[in-house]
């Protein structure tokens, strides 16, 4: 049994049909990539899993349990955490306060010292407010805030967007360390090269449909697939 099973979901924005009978799985301990052009439905898939945009049909199972009808906070309590594209850190709270607030309702929250060991850049900024951080530091804090809740599945929506190459490399190192520790991670990202360096498996979405599934190694060896669906 997969940790996450998405089975034939159909998701809409209002009257606009975005995901069409979409099915995928995430195995425990793997890093999964969701790739595709802008508007393909990648972020909508994560929002559907998180309950932010519930599917109108199909089913989503987490560790064998149906998540139908659950709100986002109930799904978070099951052990799923979404790091949204716009980060959504609290701008007027310090780094430490952002972490403490996230840990407040977690069943088995991690110690802040463990979090800072993953994100040494934040140690010097621990008393700074969110709005005083650089874009890269805000992204680190967004990931750290999800991690402190000790989730079983971390959903990363465009984690590298807008970051300088040196910060992308640092975040790659953090995600790789988390994966090596057995964390289960699903990444939506436009930076295909960076994402494939982390992923075990990948799916490609096009117009709300899964059009390719394979290992990251297979993907790298398929330039025709990457050219057709990703424009590379």
Domains in the chain: ranges and CATH: 1-79+152-163+177-232 (3.40.50.300), 89-148 (no CATH)
Both structure tokens of 54: 């519930």
Which residue matches tokens 């780094």?
95
Length of the chain: 232
Query: What is the SS3 assignment for 102?
Result: helix
Q: What percent of the chain has pLDDT over 90?
A: 84
Residues 6+ apart with CB under 8 A from 173: none
Return the pLDDT at 137: 92
Both structure tokens of 20: 């069409």
How far the first Cα of the chain sits from its last, in Å, is 34
Count CB-CB contacts under 10 A for residue 68. Answer: 12
Mean pLDDT value across residues 67-94: 93
How far is Cα 9 from Cα 23, in angstroms, rounded to an integer? 7
Question: What does the mean pLDDT of the chain come to?
Answer: 94
Q: What pLDDT digit, counting tens, does each position of 81-126 carry?
A: 999 988 889 999 999 999 999 999 898 999 999 999 999 989 999 9
Q: What percent of the chain has pLDDT over 70?
A: 100
Q: What pLDDT digit, counting tens, does each position of 144-202 carry?
A: 999 999 999 999 999 998 888 998 999 999 999 999 999 999 999 999 999 999 999 99
Q: Where are the beta strands (DSSP E) in the chain?
A: 4-13, 16-26, 31-35, 57-62, 65-66, 80-83, 153-157, 184-188, 201-206, 209-215
**Beta 153-157 vs 184-188: how paired, if at all?**
parallel
**Does residue 232 carry a pLDDT above 60?**
no
How far is Cα 101 from Cα 95, in angstroms, rounded to an integer? 10
pTM of the model: 0.94
Both structure tokens of 29: 């301990």
Return the pLDDT at 163: 87
């Amino acid at each position: 049994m997969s940790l996450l099973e998405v089975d034939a979901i159909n998701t809409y924005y209002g009257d606009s049909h975005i995901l069409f009978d979409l099915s995928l799985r995430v195995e425990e301990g793997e890093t999964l990539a969701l790739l595709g052009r802008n508007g393909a439905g990648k972020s909508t898939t994560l929002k559907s899993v998180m309950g932010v945009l519930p599917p109108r049909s199909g089913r989503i199972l987490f560790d064998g349990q149906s998540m139908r009808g659950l709100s986002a906070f109930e799904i978070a309590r099951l052990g799923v955490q979404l790091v949204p594209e716009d980060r959504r850190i609290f701008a007027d709270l310090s780094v430490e306060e952002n972490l403490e607030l996230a840990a407040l309702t977690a069943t088995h929250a991690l110690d802040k010292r463990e979090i800072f060991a993953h994100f040494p850049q934040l140690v010097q900024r621990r008393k700074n407010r969110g709005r005083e951080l650089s874009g890269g530091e805000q992204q680190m804090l967004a990931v750290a805030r999800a991690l402190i809740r000790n989730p079983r599945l971390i959903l990363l929506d465009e984690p590298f967007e807008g970051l300088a190459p040196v910060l992308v490399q640092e975040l790659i190192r953090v995600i790789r360390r988390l994966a090596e520790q057995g964390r289960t991670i699903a990444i939506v990202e436009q930076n295909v090269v960076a994402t494939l360096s982390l992923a075990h498996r990948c799916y490609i979405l096009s117009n709300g449909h899964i059009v390719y599934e394979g290992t990251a190694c297979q993907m790298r060896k398929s330039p025709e697939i990457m050219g057709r669906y990703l424009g590379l």
